Structure 1
Amino acid sequence: MALDIDFTRRNKKARLLSESEKEKLDEFVDSIHYSSRYNDDHFEYRHVQLPKQMLKAIPKDYFDGARGTLKLLWEDEWRGLGITQSLGWEHYEVHEPEPHILLFKRPMNYQAPAH
C-alpha cells in the first residue's frame, strides 16, 4: 500500500540541522505533544503538535514559502527537530489552519525491516 506522499513538497534531500540550530530547538522538545494513534482500513495515523514558538526557531528552508507552512519533512529532518516516534512513520501533511500540527501515517501493522 503506497503512502501517497507529494514528494514535491519536500526538500530534494534531507537538510540536517547544525548543532547551533539543534540547540535553539532543544528547549521546545519536552513540549511537543503526540496524539493517540487512530486508523482506517489501511493506515494508522497520529498528529504531532509542535509548540507554536518552536516554528520561529526552525530554519527557513524547512518552510514552503508559497504555503507558509513547513514542507513535508524527511524522517531525518523531523527527528532532528526532536520528534520521537517508532519506525515507519511518514510526515504526509501539515494542517494548514494550524501549521504547528504535523500529520503522520504508516501502513497498518507496520513491521520494521529486519537487519
Structure 2
Amino acid sequence: MSSPEDMGIDTSRRNPHPRPLSDNERARLEEFVEAIHYSTRYSDSEFEYRHVQLPKAMLKAIPSDYHDKSKGTLKLLWEEEWRAMGITQSLGWEHYEVHEPEPHILLFKRPLNYQPPQ
C-alpha cells in the first residue's frame, strides 16, 4: 500500500493528526452533503484522479482549523477528516491538492489498480 509521501503528497499541509469533528460541527455540515459533486475518474500512467466539488457555502461551515489561512484554502485533509465532512468514496483515495482559484474543489488521487488491504 502506498503512503501519502510515496504518492508525492506534502503531509506538512495537513493537521499534525486527524482532527475529529464534534457532533455539533458534523451537524452543521449535514445540510450540504447531498450537494457534494464527484467528478468522473481520470488517470495517467501511475494514478487515477477525481475531484470533489463542495458547495461554496459549505466552506464557511467547516471548522477553522481545517483551513490553511496562508493559502485561503482548506488544508490537505486526512481520510478521517474528509469522510467526517460527508465526502464518500471508495478506499485508497488521498486528498493531495486544493484548486486554489476555486478553494471548494478538492483533488484526490490513488494508485492505478488500487486494491484495498485484505
Question: How far did 1:22 drift?
Answer: 0.4
Question: How far did 1:65 drift?
Answer: 1.0
Equivalent residue letter for 1:54: M
Calculate the aligned-residue CA RMSD, in Å.
0.7
Equivalent residue letter for 1:58: I
Q: Which of 58, 62, 70 is the equivalent residue of 1:54?
A: 58
Q: Which of 64, 67, 86 is the equivalent residue of 2:68?
A: 64
Tell me which residue corresponds to 2:77.
73
Whole-angstrom distance in 2 between the partners of 1:65 and 1:36: 30
Q: Which runs of 5+ in 2 are unaligned?
A: none
When the two structures are superposed, what TM-score results if normalisation uses the length of structure 1? 0.98
Whole-angstrom distance in 1 between the partners of 2:57 and 2:79: 22
SS of aligned partner of 2:26: helix
Tell me which residue corresponds to 2:42.
38
Equivalent residue letter for 1:16: P
Q: Is 1:93 the equivalent of 2:100?
A: no
Question: How far did 1:64 drift?
Answer: 0.6
Q: Which of 104, 111, 116 is the equivalent residue of 1:107?
A: 111
- Count of matched residue positions in the alignment of Structure 1 and Structure 2: 114
Equivalent residue letter for 1:70: L
Q: Which runs of 5+ in 1 are unaligned?
A: none
Q: Which of 21, 25, 31 is the equivalent residue of 1:21?
A: 25
Q: Which of 83, 87, 110 is the equivalent residue of 1:83?
A: 87
Give identity over the alignment, percent: 70
Q: Is 1:3 the equivalent of 2:7?
A: yes
Whole-angstrom distance in 2 between the partners of 1:15 and 1:68: 19
